[in-house]
Chain A
Amino acid sequence: MRRTFLNRVAQMIRNEPDTTFFTVDIGMWAIQDILREFPDRATNVGIYEDGMFSVAAGMALRGLVPTIFGIQPFLIERTLEQIKLDLAYHKAGVNVVGTGAAIDYSKYGYSHYCAEDVAIVKLIPGLEFVAPGSPKEFGQLFDQSYRNGHSTFYRISDHPNRTELDVKFGQANVVKTGTRATVIAVSVMLEPVLDALGDEDVTILYYTTLEPFDRKTLAENVPSGKVLVCEPHFAGSLLWDIHQSLSGRAVQIGSVGLPREIFRTYGTYEEKMVHYGLDAATIRRRYFELLG
């Protein structure tokens, strides 16, 4: 997904003179030539997040389309006030592409984990959050939104789904329909969801745009009143949207997601996903618990 993104950046900088790109000292291997050829519009700004967001907002207010690339916790948690004021309050259209979330840097410790990202961004009105599950989906979602004048956060994952779908910004995919429950598979959770429940009589909805959340598709696809949310960030991050989508209806909600705790573990990504219960076996168990 990183390579897809950086190729897209190279294409954008070459062909679209109103675009700018800043990397916070990562990913240079793929775009050395762009950094050399277009030093004014493509810059490695170094270890520099807070001020960079204000700088990018200033550029957007002058009519440019800036994209920042960095590591998710530093992009979102370190710069929270810049996001709130310089992006959201100013209505500046800045694209922010983050790698590493939630636990992709599995051995780096809590400084590099960012299970909070979507919940934080969703708390600030007017921002958008996109979490593609595959490189192709990243390309589609980026192309549909990077010039829309809003600030959009893109979370790219080093552990994409095997399945690649055609996706639309702001719209969930109905992967399959069934009667016993509705499973919300968010981003890279589609793969373990399909492994766990692909053969069951369930509706599977696939979400890659998390803000704005497609409430309509959810409202139209909950035949049983039972919903299992499978999300690769802090559990419950999407609850407000689910509540608003199903307002006035009696629903039972099960949850698979990262527990709300400070992660003090290391290990591999796969070990972590099992440890925190984001694997197919846990999804299957939670599903049957929900059915009762």
Chain B
Amino acid sequence: MHQILKDLRKDCLRLSHRCQDGNLQSAFSCMEIVWVLYDKVMNWAPDRAMDPDRDLFLISKGQATFALYPVLKQKKFFTDADFSDIGDLHSRFSNQTDVTKFRGGVENSAGSLGHGFPMAVGMAWANKIQHFSGRVYVLTGDGEFNEGTMWEACILAAGKRLDNLCVIIDDNSSVGELIDMGDLGMKLDSFGFQVFHVDGHNLTELERTLRIRPEEGVPVAVIAHTERGHGSKTLMENSVWFHKSPNKDELEMLFKEIDSL
């Protein structure tokens, strides 16, 4: 594993430890996706975080918040000191985002599933109307597609020909344990998206796919095949880590595990 991806995961663990909350499995499964977006794909920089033409990144799966903050720290938008009170009563930061506390860096308030994707559709549509050049990237879970609003968003995005929209599905097989959703790619294709499959932990593959310019008038869906807890054997093997924060001993143990990769 690339050193930066190890560092991001360790920052993620530190945030969860300080906050005493978080969904680490979910954050670890999308770490490469968020990193590649900010490092290689998006037209975004800390000093242009409020530029109307910037690319936007929205979190629809709120559990990914602890993947976003370490990436924005790595990109020098936040510092460690910013996170010192994470989860405290009056902190700007917690394990979900509140967009009203930020000027840039965070584009939406995440939490309930099925909201970020249609909101991203509204932003992509607004960019078209105002001739803003920015693209809109939105990260969803696979389980989130059980929500009806996700499919409503698909219908509108395709109907309005929003080729400046890219939905990235962090497919960590969470619905595999629920009901059989069938073939998500075929479903999205039939809803009018250009669909790509990618190994969601392979930086090169992610970069290549996320950089593809879409056909005119066609929104893009990237199904990133991932593993919950990727990068930590402990997180992958024990489902208690879906919603658990590490104590001091666990933090050290998980650091070692990541370093040994």
Contacts and interface: CB of A to CB of B under 8 A. Distances in A.
A51 interface: yes
Interface string B102-128: 000001110110010111111111111
Contacts of A59: 122-123, 125-126, 129
B132 interface: yes
5 contacts: A54-B121, A59-B125, A63-B52, A64-B126, A64-B130
A55 B112 contact: no
A40 B118 contact: no
A54 B119 contact: yes
Contacts, number: 96
B174 interface: no
Contacts of B127: 62
Contact of B129 (A41, A54, A61): A41
A51 B130 contact: no
B108 A62 contact: no
B182 interface: no
Contacts of B194: none
Interface residues of B, number: 32
Interface of A: 18, 20, 40-41, 43, 45, 48, 50-52, 54-64, 66, 81-82, 85-86, 89-91
B184 interface: no
A47 to B, nearest CB: 10
Contacts of B239: none
Query: Mostly helix, strand, loop or mixed at chain A's interface?
Result: helix
Query: Mostly helix, strand, loop or mixed at chain B's interface?
Result: helix
Contacts of A41: 129
Nearest to A61: B123
Contacts of B153: 51, 54-55
A58 to B, nearest CB: 2
A58 B118 contact: yes
B99 interface: yes
Interface of B: 52, 98-100, 107-109, 111-112, 115, 117-130, 132, 148-149, 152-153, 155-156, 160
Contact of A54 (B124, B130, B149): B149
Q: Which 9 pairs from chain A and chain B are nearest by CB?
A: A58-B122, A51-B152, A54-B118, A62-B126, A55-B122, A58-B119, A51-B118, A58-B123, A59-B126
A61 to B, nearest CB: 7
B119 A89 contact: no
B98 A57 contact: no
Given A54-B118, A55-B121, A90-B99, 18 more contacts: A48-B156, A51-B149, A51-B152, A54-B149, A54-B153, A55-B153, A58-B119, A58-B120, A58-B124, A59-B123, A61-B107, A61-B119, A61-B126, A62-B126, A62-B130, A64-B129, A66-B122, A85-B109
